[in-house]
Amino acid sequence: MKVSVGITTLHLSQKSALLLLLATGLLGFGGYDYVQQSQAVDNAVAVQATITDSSVDRMDGGRGIDYEPEIQYTYKYQGETYTSEQVFPSTGVRTYSDRSRAESVVESYEPGTTARAYVSPADPDDAFLIRERTPFPLRAITIGGFLSVIGVLAGLGPKNPGQQELRPANEMQSAQHETWVDSHGETLHRLSKQGLGVCFVGFWLSMVALVFGLLNTPGEFGGPPQEIQAELLGPIGLPMLAGFSFWVGMILSLCLYGGWSFAEYQQLRRRLPDPKPPSPFRHPSRLITILGTEDNDLSEYGRRVRRTGWALMIAAGMTAVLVHLLYIAS
């Protein structure tokens, strides 16, 4: 599919078109929610509300356990009585991965007490308690912008990169200076694959041990959810420490594989016939297109580029997840 954008034409595959559609949806919803929250915060008037109920709701989802502060209150505006459960001026529900953070929101709103609520004159039946924007719109805009950049780069790239055939190896002169990675390539390859396999299995075994540790913790599953104080070498702390170590091990193994694979890519690139195409690692549009192409549709050179790129991208993504979790824990 061809899409004209100014003086440029994007050649979009089905995957790229779906990616841009998803990015547009995230950008649109994030922008709409941001504008709505901004208007609510700027235009709202304060009223007195009576808290009727407050609690922390535990939500078990596919990505883990989240906690939602639930507060119900009544208020009057221009002689009419309203009931609301909205805490923040957002169309979405704000949850927390840490129960203590959700409890810190609820503890200021005990049932039977009065508190300040905020009402939009244009929509008086939709009040909220905390006059601040939630981070969800900016996150949606950030993810949508990232996906749109990937989709555009894929559309700008050539149609069939990574399909160049190689000259026979016996026609090539050996490199004048053999690098350390070249001379120890087989060892690095073997260690990276073995390390990745061991750390992958170890990580999931540690997660199973963590679940058993939580099941055997009194009060966590048999009654109201409680915040767990885990000892470092206890039935919960030890699996978490092991899972952290194995996660870091997977990142290091992927980086080791990426380094070896990049050295292999450089050797294959020497066998490309002249004139050589631009390096995908210096032209993101080419790299994105190759990453989205199946192995069967690529030459040996293209498959090496694809595997190198995916290894480094997955390592970068896992590192970002680790940094985010450490930030939340701090």
The candidate with the shortest Cα–Cα distance to 85, out of 114, 54, 47, 60, is 54
* Token duo for residue 186: 């087989």
CB 59: neighbour CB atoms within 10 A?
A: 11
Q: What is the pLDDT of residue 157?
A: 64
* Burial class of residue 253, CB neighbours in 10 A (0-12, 13-18, 19+): buried
- How far is 252 from 315, CA to CA, in rounded Å? 8
Report pTM: 0.67
Full DSSP string of 73-142: EEEEETTEEEEE---SS-SSPP-BSSHHHHHHHHTT--TT-EEEEEEETTEEEEEESS-S--SHHHHHHH
| Token couple for 52 | 């009727």
Query: Helix, strand, or coil here: 66?
Result: strand
Extract the tokens encoding 170.
């016996």
Q: Quick one: DSSP state of residue 170?
A: G
* C-alpha R_g of the chain: 27
Closest CA to 162 of 10, 261, 12, 303: 303
pLDDT of residue 221: 42
Q: Report the alpha-carbon distance of residue 24 to residue 181 in Å, rounded.
A: 43
The parts of the chain modelled with pLDDT lower than 70 are 1-13, 61-64, 91-92, 157-159, 171-178, 217-233, 330
- Looking only at the bridges linking them, the beta strands covering 114-120 and 45-61 are antiparallel
pLDDT given at position 243: 93
Question: Per-domain residue ranges for the chain?
Answer: 45-130, 178-329
Residue with the two structure tokens 């790229």: 16
Total residues belonging to the chain: 330
Bridge partners, residue 114, by sequence: 50
Angle subtended at Cα 35 by Cα 29 and Cα 36, rounded to the nearest 5 degrees: 85
Identify the pLDDT of residue 98.
Answer: 79
Name the DSSP letter for residue 169: G
CA distance 234 to 228: 12
Task: Give, in order, the Cα–Cα distances in Å from 3 to each of 13, 14, 17, 103, 283.
Answer: 11, 13, 10, 50, 21
